[in-house]
Amino acid sequence: MPQKTKNTPMMEQYLGIKAQYPDAFLFYRLGDFYELFYEDAEKAAQILELTLTSRNRNADDPIPMCGVPHHAAQGYIDVLIEKGFKVAICEQVEDPKTTKGMVKREVVQLVTPGTVLQGKELDAKENNYLTALYHEGEQAGYGFAYADLSTGELKASHLFDSDSVINECTSLQTKEIVVNFDLPAELIQKLEQLSILISRQDLMTPNAELSYLTANLSDTLASQAAGNLIAYLSETQKRHLGHLQQAIAYEPSHFLKMDYYSKYNLELAKSIRTGEKKGTLLWLLDETQTAMGGRLLKQWLDRPLIQGNLIHERQNMVESLLNAYFERLEIKENLKKVYDLERLVGRISFGNVNGRDLLQLKQSLSQIPQLRQTLEGLNTEGIWEELLMDLALLPEVSDLISCAINEEAPLSITEGNLICDGYHEQLDTYRDAMRNGKQWLAELEAKEREATGIKTLKIKFNRVFGYFIEITKSNLGEIPEGRYERKQTLANAERYVTPELKEMETLILEAEEKSQELEYHLFLAVREEIKQHISHLQQLAGAVATLDVLQSFAMVSETYNYVRPTMTPNQHHLEIVDGRHPVVEKVVGHQEYVPNTVMMPDAVDILLITGPNMSGKSTYMRQLALIVVMAQMGCFVPAEKAILPIFDQIFTRIGASDDLISGQSTFMVEMMEANQALRHATVNSLILFDELGRGTATYDGMALAQAIIEYIHQHVRAKTLFSTHYHEITVLEQTLDGLKNCHVGAVEQDGEVVFLHKMMDGPADKSYGVHVARLAGLPDELLTRASVILAHLEQQQVAADLAKEVVAEEVKSVDVFKQSNSEDHQSNDEQIEISQLNLFGDITEVEQSVIDSLKQLNLLTMNPMEAMTKLYDLQQKLTD
């Protein structure tokens, strides 16, 4: 990169700065452009589709260069950030007009994916979390912290393994993690697969001013992680971080724990198919009116509660709103007018606000008295007491904005018209001068028209020439000799000035300039004054967000007829009468949805669900999980009645998804998810296994499914829903007392199968696979052939009997044939088969070849279809 020819002083300066930011695109300010050089330029030209040029083009080693206009830079920065890069913004920090020689330049901000404050990266209802991971020496585990720079939220914890780190990172959807140590390769790989940028921050810059932020953290590693995160923010933002809130210690196990897979499988916030919010539980629940409420709802969804009293408190508030229709509508209307207080406060602290932002703050505050009044009316039994305490009126702030900031304030804070008349004496004096000046100009215009008799004479203003008198060409003859001094000639007019006009111009412009400067300073003073109230404003924002989520719950609960669930901590009785899957119900309509009951009293741990494909097994399982999540968030639930224990964790294996993080195969993922559940579930957990074992060969799968059920029954005793297409394992009901069979009903009408979507007791009688294949539109010829094979096999029952054998004892299928040689063999069924195969008599060559083929079959690696086809072929050989 360094040049052969000697660098100019400017390039020396560039290289010096670039050396400090090797991993960022350096936007180097040159006049009205930000320029990029060398590799930065080559890469940026490609990504941003800019023209790549070069500096000192004629030298032996020209420097690649490209640039963007400074006023359009934001769009380009957004693109780079979105792609996971960093951008260092380097400004001229001296005025080029007054500086001799090189202008001093400095990086004023390092924009990174985790610290971006504006642009399309920042969705109003999404948090943008920067995370930090801290590890030191022999200490066990990691300190973990996260912050949203736009809202000031800061939390920290101590995590004990890398799985928890990945879980936190995925659930927070962080785009950047700050680390202080060399991460293990495996963790780096996972983070990179999740497109999380890893940023190094080694030194904890001791910043005494901000040390209070971590004062509440008693865990050393958590505190160090938060400290390092703050250090990184200070390093990159290079400005006041006064809106960062004191770090709150949190413990993932204090919330309903769901790992990344489960959240993904249950489509809590992201649809598996589209990756969008639509079609998810978040989409259904989100009737929030404010951006803060939207973000808080997502946080609650991510961390449902496990403390009965807290769930109860939320339920009380939802019920209170549900029962007060008119008050709820009023609250909704008020909330609609509240702007994003959290981010406004962040911008006030950052110094990024303009007059209109402050007016938005005032308007938001003006909604609070009405909100308070409505809630006070509902506050029977003190339900709203705590929230009311935080819902402060803050008249100091709203009064200040009312008397200082002009209702018509422009976007700019440097061009005046920001501050109200009467707010500041000196400003009023300037304004008088300006207004009088304008009055005087109007009078002068009238006077000159009269003196010259030119009716079209005008006094005008532009930035280059200031004030002037304009007279059209046709009237020039009317001007008395020597009256005006010529200033400029246009095609069809002449422009003139007079000494009097010049004098007035100086007065007016000076007043204008001075008043603009004064207004700017007054505005900064107002902003500083409001900064004093930041923590109260943040508290208020929190209360508004909470109220918003609660009214959203009430709204949804009323719209879809949800009921308040009874939570029974420390009990294992689960009863959902006529429950519904909230999202499917919303999509297919209430009339179309078939409600289903889930009854799992204390003595029942496992429901073994059989039923045809597409009949509604996984919908039933998801329905239970979503009801549990909603209940523990404090919302009402889609059912006629619900009694629920409080779950500590939910584990799922639903649907055939390949692992997005490590690119594992479906079966490997199935087993990994099963492993997670079996190792970490407790008696208070909920496990949902949908068709576990489907991803491998039949007997493998069946054997694993049965062993897993037995293991859960014996060791875990978590409430478990297990759906399977292995009908053979329904016999487990006879031996496992905590297991109950149920199935989804289907009936055949005129050869067509109709799914009832209704859950019934006992095992399913058949799987209707061929019918589902018909529904899927497979060729008729194929379906007829399948039906023939099926009928044949059902008649023979060979495959089924072999399978039963496997389930009832162990997987030793090859021995079946060896055993059949034994004289004391007792099974009638097998004797029939044996006589059919004529094992003991004289056998023909064909029969011998069939026996040989049978012996060589490796049943463990065959799927049912292959087995059936093979048996059919062999049988054909014997009957030909």
Q: Which residues bind ligand ADP (CB under 6 A)?
A: 584, 588, 592-594, 596, 611, 613-619, 757
Nearer to ligand ADP, 169 or 594 (CB): 594
Nearer to ligand ADP, 594 or 859 (CB): 594
Nearer to ligand ADP, 223 or 619 (CB): 619
- For 384, other C-beta atoms within 10 Å of its C-beta total 24
The C-alpha atoms of residue 704 and residue 680 are separated, in whole angstroms, by 18
Nearer to ligand ADP, 349 or 610 (CB): 610
Closest approach of Cβ 590 to ligand ADP, in Å?
10
Distance of CA 535 to the CA centre of its chain: 26
Closest approach of Cβ 654 to ligand ADP, in Å?
8
Task: Give the closest residue to 237 by CA, choosing from 342, 130, 156, 154.
Answer: 130
Residue 686's H or E segment, with its range, is strand 686-690
Sheet holding 641-644, edge to edge: 566-567, 641-644, 574-579, 596-600
Burial class (CB in 10 A: 0-12, 13-18, 19+), 707: exposed
Closest approach of Cβ 592 to ligand ADP, in Å?
6
Closest approach of Cβ 286 to ligand ADP, in Å?
22
The C-alpha atoms of residue 631 and residue 793 are separated, in whole angstroms, by 47
Closest approach of Cβ 258 to ligand ADP, in Å?
20
Closest approach of Cβ 594 to ligand ADP, in Å?
4
CA separation, residue 390 to residues 121, 127, 394, 406, 765 (Å): 30, 22, 11, 29, 59
Q: Which residue is nearest to ligand ADP (CB)?
A: 616
The C-alpha atoms of residue 805 and residue 702 are separated, in whole angstroms, by 12
Burial 608-645 (b: 16+ CB within 10 A, else e): bbbbbbbbbbbbbbbbbbbbbbbbbbbbbbbbeebbbb
Closest approach of Cβ 295 to ligand ADP, in Å?
31
Nearer to ligand ADP, 523 or 593 (CB): 593
* Lookup: tokens for 792: 């044949």
The C-alpha atoms of residue 467 and residue 485 are separated, in whole angstroms, by 13
Nearer to ligand ADP, 224 or 618 (CB): 618
CB 859 within 8 Å of CB 799: no
The DSSP code for 86 is E
Closest approach of Cβ 562 to ligand ADP, in Å?
16
Closest approach of Cβ 303 to ligand ADP, in Å?
27
Nearer to ligand ADP, 349 or 619 (CB): 619
CB 334 within 8 Å of CB 554: no
Strand partners, 28: 35, 90
Sheet holding 105-111, edge to edge: 53-55, 63-69, 33-37, 24-30, 86-92, 105-111
Distance of CA 629 to the CA centre of its chain: 17
Closest approach of Cβ 386 to ligand ADP, in Å?
39
Closest approach of Cβ 873 to ligand ADP, in Å?
31
Closest approach of Cβ 724 to ligand ADP, in Å?
11
* The dihedral formed by the CA atoms of 506, 508, 512 and 514, expressed in degrees to the nearest 10: 60
The DSSP code for 746 is E
Nearer to ligand ADP, 334 or 724 (CB): 724
Ramachandran sector of residue 461 (left: φ over 0; alpha: ψ -120 to 50; beta: rest): beta
Nearer to ligand ADP, 260 or 593 (CB): 593
Nearer to ligand ADP, 166 or 584 (CB): 584
Nearer to ligand ADP, 64 or 638 (CB): 638
Closest approach of Cβ 688 to ligand ADP, in Å?
11
Nearer to ligand ADP, 169 or 609 (CB): 609
- For 450, other C-beta atoms within 10 Å of its C-beta total 11
DSSP secondary structure of 795-821: HH-HHHHHHHHHHHS-S-HHHHHHHTT
Nearer to ligand ADP, 431 or 771 (CB): 771
Closest approach of Cβ 757 to ligand ADP, in Å?
4
3-state secondary structure (DSSP) of residue 541: helix
CB 712 within 8 Å of CB 606: yes
* Lookup: tokens for 52: 């790549």
Nearer to ligand ADP, 227 or 616 (CB): 616
Residue 608's H or E segment, with its range, is strand 606-610
* Lookup: tokens for 720: 């478990």
